């Protein structure tokens, strides 16, 4: 258990909405904090809800998120539910004066995300989004190298998350455009976009040129271990997307996100960058439970493989969220979801570009 101690403000009383994979990551992360009291969890699966209540000793386990938000003394809540529910739950929580940690993406669209950011600003509370992949060891190591000038000025980067058979179950909210807002570009591509722009120092995105494809999911293919596929089932989103981003200062970024494609069996997350004084290639292959991450750096003075620390995952996300709350009201305005909103606007522009077959300015 982590040895975190309260910082003079008492224990923060926290609840979690959603008990799928993501919600369980939030529960585990909070349970490892001595300065947090888990007082509520909400979920629609009665047996699993009861199991998690007993496992973590949570006093209130409810089906309706509205009942969780009404709990007396609640300070903060994690929202780990399908994307179409992010905005209504988050806005309601912020309007009650609660701090919110939402799963990615922020919302189905930038306009919907703006409602959440406006609510955070109106309430004067923290709104953070769970971009857990930027907390990986390889990304932390490469971030230090780039920020220290080890590669000079980066001018081209390519980042991707590719699966062979990784479409979430057909007929679920993941493949419903109204519920999800999009396919892999919105689901896993937003992680790729986030860690790539983070590594590059948050350059402004000037324009995007994107294409989306729905070649396998529409034929009931590409599900594999992520969920059974049935030919004829509804598939309303893309299964592969590619986007070329022009960045302020002249650099460019290519992003790929694919749930399904005829490629290697192992999942791949990567980032390649070329700079004026060096380059780097980072790959993470395999399933999340046993993924292998490798980082190579290339310079005029010699190539090397930096030491990579362990991934912090959702524990890192939760630690940062709680640190923002602990920092006090003077700092809360710096954590209003604006960065996640910028990501959502870029995703919107990518989908518009793909639909209109042209470059879209931001």
pLDDT at position 6: 38
Is residue 267 domain-shared with residue 238, that is, in the same domain?
A: yes
Out of 176-185, 210-219, 233-242, least confident range: 233-242
Percent of the chain, pLDDT > 70?
A: 95
Is residue 297 domain-shared with residue 154, that is, in the same domain?
A: yes
The answer to whether residue 220 scores a pLDDT higher than 90 is: no
- Residue 86 lies inside a defined structural domain of this protein: yes
Please compute Rg for the chain using Cα positions. Answer: 20
Domain containing 93 — which CATH number?
3.40.50.720
Biggest distance spanned by C-alpha atoms of the chain:
61
CB-based contacts of 137, cutoff 8 Å, min separation 6: 293, 308, 309, 310, 311
The answer to whether residue 1 scores a pLDDT higher than 50 is: no
pLDDT at position 233: 59
Is residue 231 domain-shared with residue 258, that is, in the same domain?
A: yes
- Residue 357 lies inside a defined structural domain of this protein: no
Is residue 179 domain-shared with residue 124, that is, in the same domain?
A: no
Is residue 151 domain-shared with residue 108, that is, in the same domain?
A: no
Mean pLDDT calculated for residue range 159-163: 98
- Residue 358 lies inside a defined structural domain of this protein: no
- Residue 362 lies inside a defined structural domain of this protein: no
Mean pLDDT calculated for residue range 137-160: 98
Is residue 155 domain-shared with residue 264, that is, in the same domain?
A: yes
Domain containing 164 — which CATH number?
3.30.360.10
Split into its structural domains, the chain has a count of 2
Is residue 171 domain-shared with residue 292, that is, in the same domain?
A: yes
CB-based contacts of 95, cutoff 8 Å, min separation 6: 119, 122, 123
- Residue 353 lies inside a defined structural domain of this protein: no
- Structural domain for 126, as ranges: 12-130+314-335
Q: What is the 3-state secondary structure (H, E, C) of the chain?
A: CCCCCCCCCCCEEEEEECCCHHHHHHHHHHHCCCCEEEEEEECCCHHHHHHHHHHHCCCEEECCHHHHHCCCCCCEEEECCCHHHHHHHHHHHHHCCCEEEEECCCCCCHHHHHHHHHHHHHHCCCEEEECHHHHCHHHHHHHHHHHCCCCCCEEEEEEEEECCECCCCCCCHHHCHHHHCCCHHHHCHHHHHHHHHHHCCCCCEEEEEEEEECCCHHHCCCCHHHCCCCCCCCCCCCCEEEEEEEECCCCEEEEEEECECCCCCCCEEEEEEEECCEEEEEEEECCHHHCEEEEEEEECCCCECCCCCCCCHHHHHHHHHHHHHHCCHHHHCCCECHHHHHHHHHHHHHHHHHHHCCCEEC
pTM reported for the whole predicted model: 0.94
| Nearest one of 134, 131, 139, 132 to 294, comparing CA atoms | 139
pLDDT at position 9: 62
- Residue 344 lies inside a defined structural domain of this protein: no
- Residue 223 lies inside a defined structural domain of this protein: yes
Percent of the chain, pLDDT > 90?
A: 89
The answer to whether residue 216 scores a pLDDT higher than 80 is: yes
pLDDT at position 225: 61
Mean pLDDT calculated for residue range 12-38: 97
pLDDT at position 170: 73
Is residue 190 domain-shared with residue 118, that is, in the same domain?
A: no
pLDDT digits (tens, 9 = 90+) for 82-133: 999 999 999 999 999 999 999 999 999 999 999 999 999 999 999 999 999 9
Is residue 180 domain-shared with residue 295, that is, in the same domain?
A: yes
* Strand-pair partners of 102: 79, 129
């Amino acid at each position: 258990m982590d040895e975190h101690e309260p910082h003079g403000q008492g224990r923060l009383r926290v609840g979690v909405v959603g008990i799928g994979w993501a919600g369980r990551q939030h529960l585990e992360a909070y349970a490892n904090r001595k300065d947090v009291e888990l007082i509520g969890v909400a979920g629609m699966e009665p047996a699993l809800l009861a199991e998690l209540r007993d496992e973590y000793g949570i006093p209130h386990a409810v089906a309706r998120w509205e009942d969780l938000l009404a709990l007396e003394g609640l300070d903060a809540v994690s929202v780990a539910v399908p994307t179409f529910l992010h905005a209504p739950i988050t806005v309601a929580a912020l309007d009650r004066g609660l701090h919110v940690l939402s799963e990615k993406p922020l919302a189905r669209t930038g306009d919907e995300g703006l409602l959440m950011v406006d609510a955070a600003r109106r309430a004067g509370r923290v709104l953070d989004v769970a971009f857990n992949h930027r907390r990986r060891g390889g990304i932390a190591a490469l971030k230090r190298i780039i920020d220290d000038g080890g590669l000079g000025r980066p001018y081209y980067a390519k980042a991707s998350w590719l699966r062979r058979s990784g479409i979430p179950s057909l007929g679920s909210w993941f493949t419903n455009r109204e519920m999800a807002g999009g396919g892999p570009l919105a689901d896993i591509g937003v992680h790729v976009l986030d860690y790539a722009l983070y590594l590059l120092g948050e350059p402004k995105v000037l324009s995007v040129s994107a294409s989306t494809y729905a070649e396998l999911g529409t034929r009931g293919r590409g599900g594999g271990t992520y969920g059974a596929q049935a030919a004829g089932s509804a598939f309303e989103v893309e299964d592969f997307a590619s986007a070329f981003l022009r960045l302020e200062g002249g650099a460019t970024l290519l992003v790929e996100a694919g749930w399904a494609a005829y490629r290697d069996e192992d999942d791949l997350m990567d980032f390649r960058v070329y700079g004026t004084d060096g380059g780097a290639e980072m790959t993470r292959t395999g399933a999340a439970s046993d993924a292998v991450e490798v980082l190579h750096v290339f310079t005029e003075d010699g190539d090397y493989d930096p030491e990579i620390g362990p991934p912090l995952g959702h524990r890192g996300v939760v630690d940062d969220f709680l640190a923002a709350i602990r920092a006090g009201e003077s700092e809360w305005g710096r954590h209003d979801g604006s960065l996640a909103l910028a990501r959502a606007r870029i995703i919107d522009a990518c989908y518009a570009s793909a639909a209109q077959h042209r470059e879209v300015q931001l």
